[in-house]
Amino acid sequence: MSQYLLGVITQSLRGGSPTQCPIFNHAIECTQALLESYMYARYEFHDDAPLNYIEDALHRFHTFQDVFILGRAGKKAQAKANPLKTELVKKRMVDKERNAEDWTASKKRREMNRWRDYISHKIDVSKELDANFNCPKIHVMSYWVEQIRRYGALQQYSPDRHEQANKMNVKDGRNAFNHNLNYLLQVITFLRHILCFEVRELNLEALAQPREDSAAACKVLPSGADLAATLIPQLYAKPEFMGPQKPP
């Protein structure tokens, strides 16, 4: 997907007005710098040259990232800008009523367009003041070069493992429970059953291997029930896992 992103953005921002062209060029430059840093960071082996390219690309990204600052304005910024918008709309209505007799139809149209642009500009400025790029994924990029120099390739930064763990440990377990109050115990029990099946499958694969392969081939893992034997009784003993309690 990332290899098509720059082409899509470049094609979408082609042919803007003279006032839009600088903004569009900054957006393309910011996207290109971000993709360059990402592509260089994916190298399995690094030397000083690609590391310098990463630093240069990240510097250009931070230089032009404010072009996307409105996209970082959340609900709080929108809620803060709503009173300002209401106030400006009231001023526009007062100005319209005060000059209703003096304005011609064409002048009225020009003035309303001017007010519309003015209100839109003020709302954008208000949102930009409350928007920022202080998010973990942007902050982590500043450590890429340092981490590569110390530990090698950035495979540990891949979100695939974390997303898969979130799906297996949280989402699948949540879909399996009956939405009762003791949901945490049900999720843990579901995961324990999955673990038991996985361990059983590994045991069958180990037992199916020829005996002459190696001594390790005949080693059988403990069952899932044995692994959870020390965990589940402790969980059942805790009051927070017992669900709603009857009064004495």
Q: Residues of the chain with pLDDT > 90: what percent?
A: 4
Residues near 23 by Cβ (< 8 Å), separated by ≥ 6?
Answer: 16, 67
Chain centroid to CA 190: how far?
28
The Cα 246–Cα 3 span in angstroms is 60
Is residue 247 over pLDDT 70? no
Q: Which stretches within the chain are classed as H helix? A: 2-12, 21-41, 48-64, 75-98, 105-129, 136-141, 144-151, 160-166, 172-176, 183-208, 224-228, 232-237
Chain centroid to CA 181: how far?
30
Is residue 212 over pLDDT 80? no
Give the largest Cα separation in the chain, rounded. Answer: 103
Q: Which of 71-75, 90-94, 114-118, 134-138 comes out lowest in average pLDDT? A: 71-75
The Cα 116–Cα 119 span in angstroms is 5
More confident of the two residues 241 and 73: 73
Is residue 27 over pLDDT 50? yes
The Cα 104–Cα 166 span in angstroms is 63
Q: Which of 32-46, 57-71, 145-159, 184-198 comes out lowest in average pLDDT? A: 145-159
pLDDT at 230: 53
The Cα 102–Cα 90 span in angstroms is 20
